[in-house]
Structure 1
Amino acid sequence: MENVIEKKHPLMTHKLTLMRMKETSAFEFRQLVDELATLLAYEVTESFATKPIEIETPIGATTQAVLAQKNVVIMPILRAGLGMVNGMLHVIPNATIAHVGLERDDETLEIREYYRKFPKDIAEATLIITDPMLATGASAAHAIALAKEAGCQDIKLVNILAAPEGIAAIHRVHPEVPIYCAAIDEGLNEKGYIVPGLGDAGDRLFGTL
């Protein structure tokens, strides 16, 4: 799919399979989300620009590259997106964190915003939105719209698992935003859950099943 980066790395596939298993504990699930977020962070940052600088090694002078990237903001969609933040910070430790709280009505599937807190420099930053699941795409589309409203122009969406319906929903309203994921599943069931999926990522992360 256009503007979708699905990383079928053996490590990601293995970890995602463990996440899918219903017997996987909340502790193990959190670890797997953290590890997958770290692996996906490498993919998201692959396009970051570098610039040459002069340095001294213990042997002598040399010209080497460092990041020329502007500030990075990680924005988890509460609550499940929080599970991916530390994994991202392993790779981008100087990133600042924005928060947006969104919840879906299980009957109407409509999105309600209940919290928003953005860094002051978010408009100039590269913004990475995290949510383990891209199901209907409604929450992610809403979060991207909020980011654009705040002036963001460089936005990336990172999910562990995505459904074709969610990808299509993002493409309809935010076609320029790249989507990074570890796998694309079959689709959604009548309740809007990804099939075969892994259940409710938030409940499994925080043990609220």
Structure 2
Amino acid sequence: MTGPAQLPKNVHVSHHPCLQAKLSQLRSKSANARDVKALINEISLILGCEALAKSLTAVRGRTDTTPLGFEYNTVQNSPESVSLVPILRSGLGMVEALQTLLPVPVPVHHLGLYREPATLSPVEYYNNLPNHNETGAGASRLAILLDPVIATGGTCAAAIQTLKEWGVQRIIVLAVIGAASGVTKAAEEWPEAVDIWLAGVDEELTDRGMLKPGLGDVGDRLFLTIATT
């Protein structure tokens, strides 16, 4: 399911055939925690390649020397000020892929958000953005927000607003899958500065705010905390 045609212009749904096959494998209830971790990492790697190709620019860096003694001009990425911001818990499963892609180490900040069961409204319980109570203090120019599943869109939208208030200039949201309505809500939170990249889009949500057919609860699948009752 690659998603509906009518999505905001700042939403990008990948059509990579390998990614689509891996997403299909991830949907299966037979995928164990090790499979889920590997598939999320691999999907994030492919998706990250596509997103960063459009979001970063290669610029000339300092001069270096090859093992044979020849000088050459190095290449750096712009913007240099980048941070990864996984939404706890499931966003942690996407961090390693982006660390692999980026040519230099970058800060990893964490946002803890959960949906209040009755209203499905987002509640923040953790925030370790540096100086996040002081707008613009220590903010990265580009924040890469990692959230495997965008369901109602409330959590993603709240995270975007938090990063905006922190002082970032641009946000890339990477998600494995999202509901059309929730993705649209998140995309409209700050459209001039946000791009959302997904492997797939589902049309429906259950009355509990879960995607249909979806992936289940990715955090539970990653960390083996699925309820037995």
Answer whether TM exceeds 0.5 for this pair. Answer: yes
Q: Contact between 2:57 and 2:78, CA under 8 Å: does it hold in 1? A: yes
- The answer to whether structure 1 residue 37 and structure 2 residue 44 are counterparts is yes
Structure 2's unaligned 5+ residue stretches are 1-6, 132-136
Q: Report if the CA contact (8 A) 2:12-2:196 is conserved.
A: yes
CA contact (8 A) 1:78 1:102 kept: yes
Q: Which has the higher helix share?
A: 1
User: Would you say the 8 A contact 1:73–1:122 is kept in 2?
Assistant: no
Pair 68,169 (structure 1): closer, same or farther in 2 beyond 3 Å: closer
Output the amino acid matched with 1:111: P
Aligned to 2:134: none
Aligned mates of 1:99, 1:63 — CA distance in 2? 35
Percent identity of equivalent pairs: 34
TM-score (norm 1): 0.92
Among candidates 81, 106, 109, match of residue 95 of structure 1: 106
Match of 1:182 among 170, 188, 199: 199
Contact 2:160 2:189 in 1 (8 A): no
2:131 is equivalent to residue 115 of structure 1: no
Q: Secondary structure at the match of 1:136?
A: coil
AA of the residue aligned to 1:151: G
How far the C-alpha of 1:171 sits from its partner, in A, is 3.1
CA shift at 1:187, angstroms?
Answer: 2.2
- Report the counterpart of residue 151 of structure 1 in structure 2: 167
* 1:26 paired to 2:33: yes
Which of residues 183, 192, 215 is equivalent to 1:167? 183
- Show structure 1 runs of 4+ deviating over 4 A: none
1:205 to 184, 197, 222: 222
Report the AA paired with residue 113 of structure 1.
E
Quote the residue 2:3 is aligned against. none
How many residues are treated as equivalent by the alignment?
Answer: 209
Q: Is the 8 A contact 2:87 2:147 kept in 1?
A: yes
CA positional deviation for 1:172: 3.1
| Distance change >3 Å, CA 172–CA 65, structure 1 → 2 | closer
AA of the residue aligned to 1:13:
Q
Bigger shift: residues 122-131 or 79-88: 122-131
Q: Deviations for 1:18-65, whole angstroms, at most 9, x for unmatched residues? A: 110001101110111111111222122113112224444337344453
Give the superposition deviation at 1:67: 2.0
Task: State whether residues 187 and 196 of structure 2, in contact with CA within 8 Å, keep that contact through their aligned partners in structure 1.
Answer: no
Letter in 1 for 2:56: F
- The residue correspondences of 1:66-77 to structure 2 (distance < 5 A) are 66-77=76-87
Following the alignment from structure 2 to structure 1, what is the Cα–Cα distance between the partners of residues 219 and 140? 30
Contact 2:11-2:187 at 8 Å conserved across structures: no
Q: What is the RMSD of the two structures over their aligned residues, measured on CA atoms?
A: 1.7
Instruction: Tell me the TM-score normalised to structure 2 length.
Output: 0.85
Further displaced range: 135-144 or 51-60: 51-60
Letter in 1 for 2:160: I
SS in 2 for 1:51: strand
AA in 2 matched with 1:75:
V
